[in-house]
Amino acid sequence: MTALVVATRTFIREQVLPIDDAYDGDVDAAGGEQLRLRLQSMARAEKLLAPHGPVDLGGLGLTMSDRAPVFEEAGYSLFGPMAINVNAPDEGNIHLLDRVGSAAQRERYLRPLVTGTWRSAFAMTEPAPGAGSDPEALLTQAVKVDGGWLINGRKRFITGADGAGFLIVMARTGGEPGSAGRATMFLLPATVPGVTLERHVGTIDRSMLGGHCELTFTNVFVPDDDVLGGVDEGFNYAQVRLGPARMTHVMRWTGAAQRAHEVAVRYATERRAFGARLADLGMAQQLIADNEIDLAATRALLREACAQLDAGERASKATSITKAFAAEALNRVADRSVQLCGGLGVSRDPPVAKIARELRPFRIYDGPSEVHRWSIARRAAREYSALGSTR
Ligand SMILES: Cc1cc2nc3c(=O)[nH]c(=O)nc-3n(C[C@H](O)[C@H](O)[C@H](O)COP(=O)(O)OP(=O)(O)OC[C@H]3O[C@@H](n4cnc5c(N)ncnc54)[C@H](O)[C@@H]3O)c2cc1C
C-alpha cells in the first residue's frame, strides 16, 4: 500500500466515516454544502485533496491505475469521495476539462474545480423522447448567433446541479434527433440567465450533494469562448469522459461494497445459530465466498481497463465489460451483506442497507447494464464475423 493510500484510509475511516454513519449517509441531513467545505478543508490540510487533479493546478496527476486504490479507500465512506474531491460528476469533469479545455477554460473552470471552490454538473440526459440510454436522441439545441450560441432544452437527472458553480451542457449542433448528427459541449456558469432549476428528482440514494435535478434552458446565451473544445465534438468528448468516469465509479463503489462485506462477515463470525457461528454454516459461507469472488473479479477487470486507459487506448470494450460486471457484482455484494445481517441488515444499525440503497442506481447511470451488453454483443458479432467461416 502506498503512503497516499494509507493516509487516505486513515483520514476517511477516522474523520469522515463517523459523520457518514451518524447521518445514515444522508448528505443534506449531515450539513450539505457546509459539510463539503469542512471535509475538504480537512482533506486539504492532510494534502489529500483532488489527487487525480493535474499537477500544474495542485493535484498529484495520478494515473488511472494509481487512482484505483485511493478512490476505493475514499469510497469506503459514502462521504469520502466528496471529502477528497474525487466525487462524480466533478471528477469526470476535471478529467474532461484537463483533456480538452483551452488555457482560459482551465483557469476559469478547472482550477476552481480542483481546489474545491466550485462544484460542477454534467448535463446530458433528457426526459423522453430525448437523450437517455441512447445519446443520439439528443433534443437540446444550440443555435449559432453573433458571438456565441443560444441553447434551448430540458435536462433531467443532473447530479449536483443545485449549488454547482458551472454546468457542462451537451446540445445538438447538427442533424436530427435519432441520428448521430453533431453535438457540442458548452460551459455555463450556473447563474447565467435562462437556466432554471425546475426540481430535484426524488431518488433512492441520498449521498450525492446537489441532488439529481431537472433543468430547463431558455434562450441561454453562451459566448464562443465557452464552447468546450471544438464545435461538433460533443459525442467524441462524451467518450473521452465516460470511459474513465465509469471506471472511477467502479473504484469508489468497490470501497463501499467492501465495507458492507466486512461488516457482514464480522456479524457472521459473532452471531451463533443452530449450534454454530453463522460463518461456519454452508449457505452463509456461500454468501461470504461469493462476495469475495465478486470483489476480486471486479478489481481484476478494473486493473485491466485502467492499464488500457493508461496506455492511451480508448478501452471501450474493457470499460463496458468492467462497468456492466462491476455494477451488478457490487450490487450482489451489498445485497448478500444485507441478507447475512438478518433483520439488522435492513435497519440503520449496521451500514449495509444504506450502501445497498446507494449502489442500486449504478446499474442504470453510466449506461444501463443492458446497453453495455448490447454494445459488447454487437462488437463481438462484428469482430468474429470479420474472421469469416470457422471451417
Ligand atoms: C442517480 C442518477 C444520477 C444520474 N446523473 C446523471 C448526470 O449527472 N448527468 C446526466 O446527464 N445523466 C445522469 N443520469 C441519467 C442516466 O445517465 C440515465 O438514467 C441513463 O442513461 C438511462 O437513461 P434513461 O433514464 O432515460 O432510461 P431509458 O433510456 O428510458 O432506458 C430504460 C431502460 O431500457 C433498457 N434499455 C435501454 N437501451 C437498451 C438496449 N439497447 N437494449 C436493451 N434494453 C435497453 C434498460 O434496462 C434501461 O435501464 C443519472 C441517473 C441516475 C439514476
What are the pLDDT digits (tens) for 41-96?
999 999 999 999 999 998 889 999 999 999 999 999 999 999 999 999 999 999 99
Q: Judge if the beta carbon of residue 133 lies within 6 A of ligand 1.
A: yes
- pLDDT at residue 387, rounded to an integer: 82
pLDDT at 179 over 90: no
- pLDDT at residue 340, rounded to an integer: 98
- pLDDT at residue 388, rounded to an integer: 79
DSSP class of 59 = S
Mean pLDDT of the chain: 96
Helix, coil or strand: residue 149: strand
All three cell numbers of 256, joined, read: 463501499
Query: Residue 365 Cα, ligand 1 centroid: separation in angstroms?
Result: 5
Classify strands 166-174 and 182-189 as parallel, antiparallel or unpaired: antiparallel
What is the rounded CA–CA span in Å between residue 345 and residue 354?
Answer: 10
CA dihedral 41, 46, 48, 54 (to 10 degrees): 80
What is the rounded CA–CA span in Å between residue 350 and residue 352?
Answer: 6
Query: Residue 89 Cα, ligand 1 centroid: separation in angstroms?
Result: 16
- Phi/psi at 214 (5° precision): -105, 130
- pLDDT at residue 390, rounded to an integer: 65
Question: What is the pLDDT averaged over residues 286-298?
Answer: 98
pLDDT at 334 over 70: yes
pLDDT at 306 over 80: yes
Q: Judge if the beta carbon of residue 164 lies within 6 A of ligand 1.
A: no
- The CA–CA distances, whole Å, from 82 to 15, 208, 311, 371 equal 13, 8, 28, 28
- pLDDT at residue 24, rounded to an integer: 98
Between 289 and 175, name the one with better pLDDT: 289
What is the rounded CA–CA span in Å between residue 172 and residue 234?
Answer: 9
Residues ≥6 apart with Cβ < 8 Å to 124: 131, 135, 138, 155, 170, 238
Report which ligand 1 atom has the smallest distance to the Cα of 127: 26
- pLDDT at residue 78, rounded to an integer: 98
Query: Residue 104 Cα, ligand 1 centroid: separation in angstroms?
Result: 33
- pLDDT at residue 1, rounded to an integer: 65
- pLDDT at residue 239, rounded to an integer: 87
Q: Give 1-51 pLDDT, tens digit per residue.
A: 699 999 999 999 999 999 999 999 999 999 999 999 999 999 999 999 999
Q: Give 243-275 pLDDT, tens digit per residue.
A: 999 999 999 999 999 999 999 999 999 999 999
Q: Give 279-289 pLDDT, tens digit per residue.
A: 999 999 999 99
- pLDDT at residue 391, rounded to an integer: 66
What is the rounded CA–CA span in Å between residue 336 and residue 296?
Answer: 16
pLDDT at 180 over 80: no
The single-letter code of the amino acid at 130 is: G
pLDDT at 178 over 80: no
Residue with CA nearest ligand 1 atom 49:
368
pLDDT at 176 over 80: yes
Q: Judge if the beta carbon of residue 154 lies within 6 A of ligand 1.
A: no
Helix, coil or strand: residue 231: coil
Question: What is the pLDDT averaged over residues 118-127?
Answer: 98
Residue with CA nearest ligand 1 atom 53:
361
Asked whether the whole model's pTM tops 0.85, one would answer: yes
What is the rounded CA–CA span in Å between residue 161 and residue 181?
Answer: 27
Strand partners, 151: 142, 220
Residues ≥6 apart with Cβ < 8 Å to 140: 126, 130, 131, 151, 152, 153, 154, 155, 169, 170, 171, 172, 217
Residues ≥6 apart with Cβ < 8 Å to 76: 9, 12, 13, 17, 255, 256, 258, 259
What is the rounded CA–CA span in Å between residue 148 and residue 145?
Answer: 5
- Counting Cα atoms < 13 Å in the Cβ hemisphere of 34 gives 5
Which candidate, 162, 139, 163, places its Cα nearest to that of 152?
A: 139
What is the rounded CA–CA span in Å between residue 240 and residue 100?
Answer: 9
pLDDT at 130 over 90: yes
